[in-house]
């Protein structure tokens, strides 16, 4: 039996390593988004500063480990064997959930995950105990409901406090410095920076010392006795240092403040969130030690009262966890995906928004606009002028235009406010022994500063609000999923024993492998779509190459979807049609992304290549239209089979197969035209298109004959005629892409400017 539980301890620590990796990939956004988004310095230096903060912060996290041991349940009411199953269920669930969110680039909360996983697993085991071994106890005797509610309330309250604090402080700071902050830096910069660094020093050193594993009680008491002296001294020293830097060097002190803030926030993150990754395995190890010291008796007979006391955490284990987190920070591609989601929602300028608008976001923006208008009318005109001048974004826009591709998403003022406010709030939670979600706090502070800074303008506000709602919705989904999945796993482990544990573990490994492969494929697709976008100026040849890449992506993806759709329709194969529909939805997202990014692309086109920019816009639009027409084929066919209507006849299937072969030839011709543009001829597509249209008319006549002879029903006729019509629309746009290539780029001065003889609506 000793060997069995020793193996479980080993599995818990392996899961802890995996959890550290996926957890840092998710939480890197918390302390990287401000520095990366403002491009305060090189990405490598930002990572170095964050890594040092993580290593030091890990040693301040010892006090937080109590949350995993006794923060959610009463360990003295559970036997050793039961707690080991709870801990195992929690860790398996945590790895699966965090990896899934990282794969899709969505920041979620590791704190919420671990809290609700512990709650779900412990509730499951408690219910089993209550029903299998009836006693006078109830669920409240097993679950530390008071502490759990305090933790959950603290997490939810932190969202409101973080958003409000970030917004208010950013507004006041912007009023002080404006977007043209260099002019006021020598007057107020040192004082503001000194106050910011002093505040960070206070909360990290003085308040944070309580959880430091390397400090003895005497040193902590000395720090607490001299709190105000340290605080005042820190302010004076840093204000003097920063003022000297302003007067005698060219160092931008806000860059320094951003780096200090990055260090502070990464340190606060490690101090607060390390419990989320290794707290449960350490609790399992402590339980194992208590069991062994008791004489290794019956694991079902030893209550874990020893966990209710204070159990110190070895500093070496904390540092080892810090090393793993640091290595992950350097090499994780998923971390960059999650950071990008946050930056998309906080950048100063509008662009290709990632999220679509929801009804609730539209209503919120509409109401906020009305409220803003009402408040504006109550402000004196002189104040309006002052506010407008302080929030004039023209200096920032001019710097962005001058920097080109190296332009930041927002300036250093907002980055410094975000980091200072977030690090202070997180450290306060740590010292109150409340495992605040660093994701919630950092993200909502970032959103609050973005809103106050005017980043959510009329062009982008509804999409940014939708993004925030999506992320917050994901947080609630995390809580529900964590509770339910860990509840189920704990029950499976309890009744299934070692075999169930092995099966679930293998399943978890497979799911993580699948998600990593999916994420790799997404990155490769992203690189293919953005090929050539890294250059400052794009020539005519570069535009044609980008068009060719996009055409290969979209048209190349259409053929297998059409083939699978026709096969599924003819064979009444619903799974095959569902697979085709899923493939179509992925292709549509690619087409939508190409169209959204068209504006960024044409901004880089050389000034004398307006026709090439026009070509790119048209091709992006045509590809989106074609993908929409493809959906008008795939979805009706899926619905037809799903509703169990009569299948197509063999003759109809053969006719559609013939048409799709012809259409494939037209798509191949379009792809070849952009691969070898010098060989394209303006009129070469017309005969093939005419033949295709003629074939459609022949098949339409055949269908009319079937209707007249009552060989087929109404639904069959509607489906078949729709199929013909949409194939014809697809063919038309294939031809149009060749024609605009000739007319706009290859032969703009040519005499032939005729259109294709038919239009999509000409049936």
* 8 A C-beta contact, residue 50 and residue 329: yes
**Amino acid 434: pLDDT:** 61
**Amino acid 492: pLDDT:** 92
**Amino acid 384: pLDDT:** 77
Alpha helices (runs of H) in 39-144, residue ranges in sequence order: 43-58, 66, 80-103, 110-132, 139-142
Q: Is the pLDDT of residue 609 over 70?
A: no
Q: Is the pLDDT of residue 713 over 50?
A: yes
How far apart are alpha carbons 284 and 61 in whole angstroms? 17
**Amino acid 526: pLDDT:** 59
CA–CA distance from 468 to each of 340, 649, 705 (Å)? 14, 50, 56
Mean pLDDT of 28-47: 78
Banded pLDDT at 528 (limits 50, 70, 90): low
Give the relative orientation of helices 145-177 and 381-390 as an angle to the nearest 10 degrees: 100
Domain with CATH 1.20.58.220 in the chain: 530-746
How far apart are alpha carbons 57 and 52 in whole angstroms? 8
Burial classification of residue 621, based on how many CB atoms lie within 10 Å of its CB (0-12 exposed, 13-18 middle, 19 or more buried): middle
The sign of the torsion formed by the CA atoms of 88, 89, 92, 93 equals: negative
* 8 A C-beta contact, residue 81 and residue 299: yes
Token readout for 753 is: 């400017």
How far apart are alpha carbons 400 and 262 in whole angstroms? 23
How far apart are alpha carbons 579 and 585 in whole angstroms? 10
Token readout for 66 is: 């109590």
Place of tokens 């290709």: 352
**Highest mean pLDDT, choosing among 141-150, 370-379, 703-712:** 703-712
Banded pLDDT at 350 (limits 50, 70, 90): low
Mean pLDDT of 146-168: 78
How far apart are alpha carbons 77 and 98 in whole angstroms? 30
Map residue 162 onto helix, strand or coil: helix
Higher pLDDT, 160 or 314: 160
Q: Is the pLDDT of residue 752 over 60?
A: no
Query: Against a cut of 0.85, is the pTM above it?
Result: no
For the chain, the farthest-separated pair of C-alpha atoms sits apart, in whole angstroms, at: 100
The CATH number of 530-746 is which of 1.10.490.10, 1.20.58.220, 1.10.645.10, 3.40.50.970? 1.20.58.220
Mean pLDDT of 103-119: 75
Start-to-end CA distance of the chain, whole Å, equals 78
Q: Is the pLDDT of residue 631 over 80?
A: yes
CA–CA distance from 329 to each of 15, 50, 332, 514 (Å)? 18, 9, 6, 22
Distance of CA 69 to the CA centre of its chain: 31
Map residue 605 onto helix, strand or coil: strand
| Percent of all residues in the chain with a pLDDT value above 90, rounded to a whole number | 7
Mean pLDDT of 547-553: 87
* 8 A C-beta contact, residue 759 and residue 732: yes
Q: Is the pLDDT of residue 159 over 90?
A: no
* 8 A C-beta contact, residue 609 and residue 543: yes
- Of 72, 620, 174, the residue nearest 388 (C-alpha): 174
Token readout for 600 is: 């960024």
Mean pLDDT of 657-681: 82
Distance of CA 610 to the CA centre of its chain: 35
Q: Is the pLDDT of residue 593 over 80?
A: yes
Mean pLDDT of 412-441: 75
Banded pLDDT at 69 (limits 50, 70, 90): low
**Highest mean pLDDT, choosing among 367-371, 389-393, 594-598, 626-630:** 626-630
Lowest mean pLDDT across 240-249, 389-398, 429-438: 429-438
Mean pLDDT of 76-98: 86
Token readout for 449 is: 């500063």
Q: Is the pLDDT of residue 444 over 50?
A: yes
Token readout for 336 is: 């960059």
Token readout for 578 is: 């569902």
How many CB atoms are located within 10 Å of the residue 394 CB?
Answer: 9
How far apart are alpha carbons 118 and 74 in whole angstroms? 12
Q: Is the pLDDT of residue 342 over 60?
A: no
Lowest mean pLDDT across 206-220, 298-312, 644-658: 206-220
């Amino acid at each position: 039996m000793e060997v069995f539980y020793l193996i479980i301890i080993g599995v818990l620590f392996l899961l802890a390593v995996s959890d550290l990796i996926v957890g840092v990939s998710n939480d890197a956004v918390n302390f990287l988004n401000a520095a990366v988004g403002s491009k305060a310095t090189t990405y490598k230096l930002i990572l170095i500063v964050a890594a040092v903060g993580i290593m030091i912060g890990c040693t301040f996290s010892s006090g937080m480990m109590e949350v995993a041991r006794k923060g959610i349940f009463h360990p003295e009411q559970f036997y050793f064997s039961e707690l080991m199953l709870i801990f195992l269920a929690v860790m398996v669930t945590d790895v699966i959930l965090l990896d899934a969110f990282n794969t899709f680039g969505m920041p979620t909360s590791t704190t919420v995950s671990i809290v609700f996983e512990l709650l779900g697993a412990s509730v499951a085991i408690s219910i089993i105990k209550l029903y299998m071994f009836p006693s006078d106890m109830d669920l409240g005797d097993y679950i530390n409901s008071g502490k759990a509610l305090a933790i959950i309330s603290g997490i939810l309250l932190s969202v409101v406090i973080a958003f409000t604090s970030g917004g208010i402080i950013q507004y006041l700071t912007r009023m002080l410095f404006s977007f043209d902050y260099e002019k006021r830096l020598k007057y107020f910069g040192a004082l503001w920076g000194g106050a910011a660094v002093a505040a960070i020093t206070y909360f990290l050193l003085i308040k944070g010392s309580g959880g430091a594993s390397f400090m003895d009680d005497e040193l902590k008491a000395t720090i607490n006795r001299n709190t105000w002296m340290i605080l005042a001294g820190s302010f004076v020293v840093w204000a003097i240092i920063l003022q000297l830097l302003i007067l005698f060097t060219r160092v931008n002190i806000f860059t320094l403040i951003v780096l200090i803030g990055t260090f502070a926030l990464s340190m606060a993150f490690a101090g607060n969130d390390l419990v989320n990754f290794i707290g449960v395995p350490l609790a399992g190890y402590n339980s194992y030690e208590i069991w062994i010291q008791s004489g290794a008796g019956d694991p079902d007979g030893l209550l874990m009262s020893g966990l209710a006391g204070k159990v110190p955490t070895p500093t070496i284990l904390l540092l080892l966890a810090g090393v793993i987190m640091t290595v992950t920070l350097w090499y994780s591609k998923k971390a960059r995906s999650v950071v990008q989601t946050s930056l998309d929602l906080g950048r100063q300028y509008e662009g290709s928004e990632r999220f679509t608008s929801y009804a609730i976001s539209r209503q919120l923006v509409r109401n906020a606009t009305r409220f803003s208008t009402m408040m504006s009318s109550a402000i004196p005109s002189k104040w309006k002028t002052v506010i407008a001048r302080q929030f004039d974004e023209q200096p920032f826009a001019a710097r962005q235009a001058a920097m080109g591709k190296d332009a930041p998403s927002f300036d250093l003022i907002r980055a410094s406010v975000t980091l200072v406010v977030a690090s202070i709030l997180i450290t306060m939670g740590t010292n109150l022994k409340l495992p605040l979600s660093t994701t919630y706090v950092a993200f909502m502070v970032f959103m609050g500063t973005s809103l106050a800074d005017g980043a959510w303008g009329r062009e982008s506000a509804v999409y940014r609000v939708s993004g925030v709602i999506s992320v917050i919705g994901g947080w609630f989904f995390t809580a529900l999923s964590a509770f339910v999945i860990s509840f189920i796993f704990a029950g499976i482990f309890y009744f299934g024993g070692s075999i169930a544990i092995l099966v679930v573990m293998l399943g978890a490994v497979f799911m993580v492998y699948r998600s990593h492969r999916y994420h790799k494929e997404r990155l490769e697709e992203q690189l293919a779509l953005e090929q050539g976008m890294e250059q400052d100026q794009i020539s005519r040849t570069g535009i044609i190459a980008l068009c060719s890449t996009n055409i290969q992506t979209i048209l190349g993806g259409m053929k297998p979807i059409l083939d699978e759709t026709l096969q599924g329709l003819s064979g009444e194969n619903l799974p095959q049609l569902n697979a085709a529909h899923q493939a179509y939805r992925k292709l549509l997202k690619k087409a939508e992304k190409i169209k959204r990014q068209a504006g960024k692309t044409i901004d880089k086109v050389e000034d004398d290549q307006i026709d090439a920019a026009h070509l790119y816009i048209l091709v992006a639009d045509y590809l989106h239209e074609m993908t929409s027409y493809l959906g008008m084929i795939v979805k009706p066919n899926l619905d037809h089979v799903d509703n169990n209507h009569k299948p197509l006849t063999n003759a109809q299937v053969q006719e559609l197969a013939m048409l799709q072969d012809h259409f494939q030839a037209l798509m191949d011709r379009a792809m070849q035209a952009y691969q070898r543009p010098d060989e394209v001829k303006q009129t070469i597509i017309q005969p093939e298109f005419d033949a295709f249209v003629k074939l459609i008319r022949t098949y339409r006549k055949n269908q009319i004959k079937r209707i007249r002879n009552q060989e087929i029903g109404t639904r069959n006729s509607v489906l078949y005629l729709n199929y013909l019509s949409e194939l014809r629309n697809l063919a038309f746009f294939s031809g149009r892409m060749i024609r605009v290539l000739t007319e706009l780029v290859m032969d703009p001065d040519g005499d032939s400017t005729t259109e294709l003889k038919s239009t999509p609506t000409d049936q």
